[in-house]
Amino acid sequence: MKRVRKAVFPVAGLGTRMLPAAKTVAKEMLTVVDRPLIDWVVSEARAAGIEHFILVTGRGKGAMEDYFDHHVELEATLAAKGKTDLLAEIVSALPREGEISYVRQMEPKGLGHAVWCARDIVGDEPFAVLLPDMVMDATPGCLAQAVAAYEQVGGGNIVVVEPCPPGEAHKYGIVALENRQGRLGRMTGMVEKPAPGTEPSNLFISGRYILQPEIFDILEKGERGAGGEIQLTDGMAALMKSQAFHALEFDGTTYDCGDKIGWLRANVAMALKDPKLADAARAALRPLFD
């Protein structure tokens, strides 16, 4: 069993649910409290032991490359003014040289295609996929839980799932399971937007995966699925015929920050969890509901 060392972050999307803001600001650079979305997700991956971060970018995404680089003038100014705590906080978010790579998705052909674009950097080893608009609040982190599940079952593929709201399974990709033990079960299939009453479970596929590199050979074929795009779920369904898949119901809370209300909820929740901001945030919010 090879260790999970690399993670792919598909960040080339247009962020249409966050327009008009996403017209000029990459969705992944929208802030939750004081950090952009991509920082929250990269930090989660780093805490799970990821050593190499692969961002699949597109047009208008250059701000992310600048964010994960030194800002010489800013750092010099903070140092000169003695703001060492703030300087240390900024520098601590930076990857080390060679830890981060960028690959361009030249055309929006779907999530499966975005993942496939990272094939040469991933190479012949298992890898994680993290959707950057999904902020997972959990201790240990969501990907750390997935890595632990991967090690527990001895490898294969892990798909993070969570319960969907009652009566809304028809809106999601739902997994079928067998031999469930606690939060972990072997997957027997996936159903995209099942008709009401036909769903095999109430667990939908969330925004974290651990996959084996053989999926690249499947995605290479470029077969189109829903929406005329190369779907990652289709690739996983094909790989499931020859490899084991397990679904992990992670212990935590998800905030879909590709959605305006989800992004708002994340800002409030994370501000209230920050010991430096919690009291002031609570005081600021209280009059809105009085």
- Domain positions in the chain: 6-289
Least-confidence region, from 167-181, 230-244, 246-260: 167-181
Within 13 A of 254's CA, how many CA atoms are on the CB side?
A: 24
Q: In Å, what is the CA distance from 179 to each residue of 205, 210, 246, 265?
A: 18, 20, 10, 35
Residue type at position 129: V
Query: Which of 17-22's residues contact partners 24+ apart within 8 Å by CB, and which partners?
Result: 17/258, 17/259, 17/260, 18/258, 18/259, 18/260, 18/263
pLDDT tier at 229, thresholds 50, 70, 90: confident
Mean pLDDT of 249-260: 92
Q: Tell whether the torsion through CA atoms of 184, 142, 159 and 255 is positive or negative.
A: positive
What is the pLDDT at residue 98?
86
What is the pLDDT at residue 51?
96
Mean pLDDT of the chain: 91
Least-confidence region, from 10-19, 181-190, 224-233: 224-233
Cβ-based burial of 17 (10 A; exposed 0-12, middle 13-18, buried ≥19): middle
Q: In Å, what is the CA distance from 125 to each residue of 7, 196, 210, 246?
A: 11, 38, 11, 18
Residues contacting residue 9 through CB under 8 Å, at least 6 positions apart: 38, 41, 42, 45, 53, 54, 55, 56, 129, 130, 132
Cα 14-20-24 angle, rounded to 5 deg: 65
pLDDT over threshold 80, residue 192: no
Q: How far apart are CA 48 and CA 119, in angstroms?
A: 21
Beta-ladder partners of 54: 8, 101
| Helical packing angle, 72-80 and 84-92, nearest 10° | 150
What digits encode the pLDDT tens for the residues 198-227?
A: 888 889 998 899 999 999 999 998 787 767
What digits encode the pLDDT tens for the residues 137-181?
A: 999 999 999 999 999 999 999 999 999 888 888 878 889 988 888
What is the pLDDT at residue 22?
83
Nearest to 251 by CA among 152, 162, 148: 162
Least-confidence region, from 54-63, 117-126, 132-141, 264-273: 54-63
CATH tag, 6-289: 3.90.550.10
